[in-house]
Structures are given as C-alpha cells and as structure tokens.
Amino acid sequence: MDITNALPVECISHIISLTTPRDACRLAAVSHIFKSAADSDLVWEKFLPSDYKLIISNSVSSSSLSTSLPKKDLYFHLCHYPVFINNCTMSFALEKETGKKCYMVGARGLCIEWGSTANFWKWTSLSKSRFPEVAELVYFWFFEVNARIETRILSNRTNYAAYLVFKFGKSTDGFGSTLLASGVYVEGINDEERQGLFLDPSRNTPQLFHDRRDGWMEIEMADKCNYFLDNIL
C-alpha cells in the first residue's frame, strides 16, 4: 500500500517532525505529498528552539526579522544569519543539521585582562567581523581572556564544543613559542582542568584548527563541555 495515499498530510508531517532537519530536507524530494508535509510549519516549528520567539524579540534584528515567516524559512535564516543579543555582545544562530543553539561571545562580552590599557590592547572595527568592535592585541606581554555564558540558555541534552576565534595581524611575535592554557568548565560542577595549546597552527595537532573560510581561524578549546563559546579577538 502506498503510504502517501494511506495517511493524511498532517500525519506524515508529524512523523517527519520526529526526525531531523536533514532528514526532512531529504524526505521532501520523495514526492509532492512528502514535500508538502516536510515543508510544513508543523515540522519546522518542532526543529526551532522552544524559546525562539523570545530570542528574536530580544535581538537587535527583531525589527527586520519576523517570526511570522514560514518556519522553514525562519529556520534557515537563523542558520545563515546570526542575530545579535545582549546589546550586540553576543550572537545567536542555529546549527544547520540539528537545530541546536550556537552562541558566539564578541570581544565586548569578554573579560580581557589589561583590555582597557592602550599599551596592550586597542579596540577597532573590521569589515570581516560580525561584531561592531574587535579587540586587537598590540603588545604581547600578558594574554588572559575569560568569558561566561549561562547554561540555561543552551539546548538540553547536548554536547557542546568551545572554540577561540581569532586572526593574526602582520606579526605573530610571541605566539609561535608560547604555550597557552585553555579550559572550559561548569561552575560548581567541573574542576578547572586546563589543556595546553599554541595559537600557531604549525605547533598544534591539525584536528584542533578549523578554517572558517571567513578570514578567521578557530581553535578547539574543549570538546566535552556543556556550552559553546566563540571569542572574536
């Protein structure tokens, strides 16, 4: 028996909503009925975070991004175009294949040791940064950067990875030979175990570095933490 004739479209939509965004896109190619079911708001509403309306309403993009869009269009918009939250100190996006929440902490949202001292850091803007301002290290003498994110805003039952996102200027003096300590932990639960890494790609294992293809590099700080962190420096 042909399942497309035996079940109403709403029932097929419900079944597809129990899969993943990637599966839904594949199932849309099966037939016209499956496409109608797989593209429906019923399906993509399930893939969006339960608090997506609150996130968008509190974002800087709230005036230009409507929650009344077809849910599939809204889903992919959030995958490709992060929205700014917390006074533009953070951005929010969705991971394309799973719909999990991804957050990036901008430089103004970080605690940078000596960040207000002009001899060591300066604040500037870059056309290839998603944030209005980035922090540029002027003189490498002391490098300590911390960030904090509330775990309550993250996706449940999800393993997150943490990355440091950065780019070098004309000089890399100091970083090539300096071993940095990085760590990610949940306050009150995990200890402050640190791992050593170099920001120079030639000094680290290739698996740690990723080419973002946007002019920036990222290095994995931890892959067993409970939240995702990107720092734009």
Q: Is residue 86 part of a domain?
A: no
What pTM did the predictor assign? 0.81
**138/42 same-domain check:** no
**158-215, pLDDT tens digit by residue?**
888 888 888 887 766 667 677 777 877 777 665 667 777 777 766 666 666 777 877 7
Mean pLDDT check: name the lowest of 1-10, 202-211, 218-227: 218-227
Lowest-confidence pick of 27-36, 125-134, 165-174: 165-174
Q: Using the predicted structure, report yes or no on whether residue 232 has a pLDDT greater than 50.
A: no
In a domain, 56, yes or no: no
Domains identified in the chain, total number: 2
What is the domain range of residue 215? 102-232
Residues 14, 106 within the same domain = no
- Quote the mean pLDDT of the chain: 83
Does residue 216 share a domain with residue 125? Answer: yes
- Is residue 79, in this structure, part of any structural domain at all? no
Residue 185 covered by a domain: yes
Same domain membership, residue 28 and residue 129 = no
User: What one-character-per-residue DSSP string does 19-59 give?
Assistant: S-HHHHHHHTTT-HHHHHHHTSHHHHHHHS-TTHHHHHHTS
pLDDT of the residue at 117:
86
| 36 and 106 assigned to the same domain | no
- Residue 22 and residue 8: Cα distance in Å, rounded? 22
Of 190, 180, 103, the C-alpha closest to 149 is: 103
Q: With pLDDT > 90 as the criterion, what percentage of the chain qualifies?
A: 42
